């Protein structure tokens, strides 16, 4: 499917477009600014755009008021329709953030419960007890997501709620042509709801892509037939940055072998998990890595390993942001994109990946692993590519059986000769396409 060979570009629109942190109710057509970013996304080589929350909310987007109206701070449904139309015209797919576990206190159905209490036809849309009280003194208790009472948990066992959410997805598809959904906090979602939304989306179009936000545990709980197509690979996210910070590439090597190796116990062989080095919820990679020289290396691993890579807007040019400073530090406004050496390196890696069936779809086999050097093979059909990185400040000569004499580096176009060993320059990334 289209997503198997994609590289996603993630945008948090409320941040990127400089919207006020609280919904002030003042209409502004900020979303149209994203039109100016399309040439940058194309130049970078990404093939799909993942939008974090777009629809009317109380503050940060994950506290939805109305799933079918674009956030007033961003503009109008017509603005979003125009943006999605232009992205599609340029050959870019569009994904929305499906925040279906909870809503904001300003959500229309919850407001009805606040006003009418027992008499509200929506009282069973939530987990409510009229024998208690909330921290907001509503006169009734309700379940908030993970104790956050500004986020009111939906009752996904209520058929009316499920029907409403599925009809919302239908609306997004018909109105905006959405190609896929990120399901927020998928690890909290009712499993029957996950199956229902997978079945429903398949009935709309067989190529709608569904992936879930998952953190820990066995991802097979959420991914597979009758479930999601994919999920976020937080295990490898941690391995990518901490391997480099600790100068211990065995950590990411262990995770990739555990997840995608040829051994029968490998957990996710044949699955395309969504991989990343940062996103809108975690410290940006330029602020996370101890050595800035490791930035090309971490992206080289990301774009060479199995999975569907996702690039968070701004990180491709070394934008910084620390989670300890709050979410706003991770979701900054950018008036225009930037381009520097790192951006150019990432663009070359993306181009190589998208032109290589092995890098997109190939299986995984470890070839050489030390604390500071890592070579692994991706193979699909008759194409074989070696991903080689050196995280050290000194050059390294790698000696191994390549199974052929020469290769072409997909990043530089240069011919590589394996005779006498393969020298890896300091802080280098190579994608060697092997001769047949």
Asked if residue 20 lies in contact with residue 328, where contact means CB atoms within 8 angstroms, the answer is no
Q: How far apart are CA 411 and CA 348, in angstroms?
A: 6
CATH number assigned to the domain covering 102-155: 3.90.400.10
Q: Can you read off the two tokens belonging to residue 177?
A: 């042509």
Q: How far apart are CA 29 and CA 26, in angstroms?
A: 10
Instruction: Tell me phi and psi for residue 272, to 5 degrees.
Output: -110, 90
- pLDDT at residue 1, rounded to an integer: 92
Helix (H), strand (E), coil (C) string for the chain:
CHHHHCCEEEECHHHHCCCCCCCCCCCCCHHHHHHHHHHHHHHHCCCEEEECCCECECCCCCCECCCCCECCCCCCHHHHHHHHHHHHHCCCEEEEEECCCEEECCCHHHHHHHHHHHHCCCHHHECEECCCCCCCCCCCEECEECCEEEEEEECCCCHHHHHHHHHHHHHHHHHHCCCEEEECCHHHCCHHHHHHHHHHHHHHCCCCEEEECCCCCCHHHCECCCCECEEECHHHHHHHHHHHHCCCCHHHHHHHHHHHCCCCCCCCCCCCCEEECCCCCCCCHHHHCCCHHHHHHHHHHHHHCCCEEEEECCHHHCCCCCHHHCHHHHCCCCCCCCCCHHHHHHHHHHHHHHCCHHHHHCEEEEEEECCCEEEEEEEECCEEEEEEEECCCCCEEECCCCCCCEEEECCCCCEEECCCCEEECCCEEEEEEECC
Q: What is the pLDDT along the chain (436 residues), one digit of tens a residue?
A: 999 999 999 999 999 999 999 999 999 999 999 999 999 999 999 999 999 999 999 999 999 999 999 999 999 999 999 999 999 999 999 999 999 999 999 999 999 999 999 999 999 999 999 999 999 999 999 999 999 999 999 999 999 999 999 999 999 999 999 999 999 999 999 999 999 999 999 999 999 999 999 999 999 999 999 999 999 999 999 999 999 999 999 999 999 999 999 898 999 999 999 999 999 999 999 999 999 999 999 999 999 999 999 999 999 999 999 999 999 999 999 999 999 999 999 999 999 999 999 999 999 999 999 999 999 999 999 999 999 999 999 999 999 999 999 999 999 999 999 998 999 999 999 999 999 7
Does CATH number 1.20.1290.10 belong to domain 2-100+162-361? no
- pLDDT at residue 95, rounded to an integer: 98
| Contacts (Cβ under 8 Å, ≥6 apart) of 246 | none
- pLDDT at residue 436, rounded to an integer: 73
**Max CA pair span of the chain:** 81
- pLDDT at residue 372, rounded to an integer: 98
According to CATH, the topology of domain 363-434 is: Immunoglobulin-like (2.60.40)
Q: Where are the domains of the chain?
A: 2-100+162-361, 102-155, 363-434
- Domains 2-100+162-361 and 363-434 agree in fold: no
Nearest CA among 274, 214, 285, 196 for reference residue 244: 285
- pLDDT at residue 420, rounded to an integer: 87
Q: Could you give the dihedral angle defined by the CA atoms of residues 108, 113, 115 and 120, in that order, rounded to the nearest 10 degrees?
A: 110
């Amino acid at each position: 499917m289209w997503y198997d060979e994609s590289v996603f570009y993630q945008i948090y629109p409320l941040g990127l477009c400089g919207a006020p942190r609280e919904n002030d109710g003042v209409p502004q057509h900020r979303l149209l600014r994203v039109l100016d970013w399309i040439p940058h996304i194309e130049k970078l080589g990404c093939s799909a755009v993942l939008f974090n929350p777009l629809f009317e909310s109380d503050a940060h987007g994950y506290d939805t008021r109305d799933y079918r109206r674009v956030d007033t701070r961003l503009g109008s449904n017509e603005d979003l329709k125009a943006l999605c139309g232009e992205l599609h015209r340029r050959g870019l797919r569009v994904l929305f953030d499906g925040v279906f576990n909870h809503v904001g206190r300003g959500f229309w159905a919850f407001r009805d419960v606040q006003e009418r209490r027992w008499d509200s036809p929506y009282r069973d849309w939530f987990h409510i007890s009229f024998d208690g009280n909330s921290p907001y003194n509503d006169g009734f208790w309700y379940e908030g997501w993970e104790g956050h009472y500004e986020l009111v948990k939906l009752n996904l066992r209520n058929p009316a709620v499920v029907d409403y959410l599925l009809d919302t997805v239908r609306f997004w598809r018909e109105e905006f042509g959405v190609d896929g959904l990120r399901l927020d906090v998928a690890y909290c979602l009712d499993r029957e709801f996950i199956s229902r939304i997978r079945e429903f989306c398949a009935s709309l179009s067989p190529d709608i892509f569904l992936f879930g936000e998952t953190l820990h545990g066995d991802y097979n709980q959420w991914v597979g037939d009758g479930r999601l197509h994919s999920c976020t690979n937080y295990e490898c996210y941690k391995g990518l940055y901490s391997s480099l910070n600790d100068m211990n590439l065995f950590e990411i090597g262990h995770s990739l072998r555990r997840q995608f190796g040829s051994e029968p116990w490998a957990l996710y062989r044949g699955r395309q998990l969504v991989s990343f080095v940062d996103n809108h919820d975690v410290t940006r990679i330029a602020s996370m890595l101890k050595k800035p020289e490791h930035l090309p290396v971490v992206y080289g691993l990301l774009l060479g390993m199995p999975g569907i890579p996702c690039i968070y807007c701004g990180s491709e040019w070394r934008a910084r942001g620390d989670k300890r400073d709050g979410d706003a530090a991770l979701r900054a406004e950018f008036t225009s994109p930037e381009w520097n050496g790192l951006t150019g390196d990432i663009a070359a890696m993306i181009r190589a990946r998208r032109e290589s069936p092995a890098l997109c779809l190939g299986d995984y086999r470890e070839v050489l692993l030390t604390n500071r050097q890592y070579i692994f093979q991706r193979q699909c059909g008759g194409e074989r590519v070696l991903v080689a990185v050196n995280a050290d400040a000194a050059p390294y000569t790698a000696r191994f059986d390549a199974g052929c004499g020469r290769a072409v580096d997909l990043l530089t176009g240069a011919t590589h000769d394996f005779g006498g060993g393969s020298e890896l320059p300091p802080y280098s990334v190579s994608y060697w396409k092997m001769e047949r």
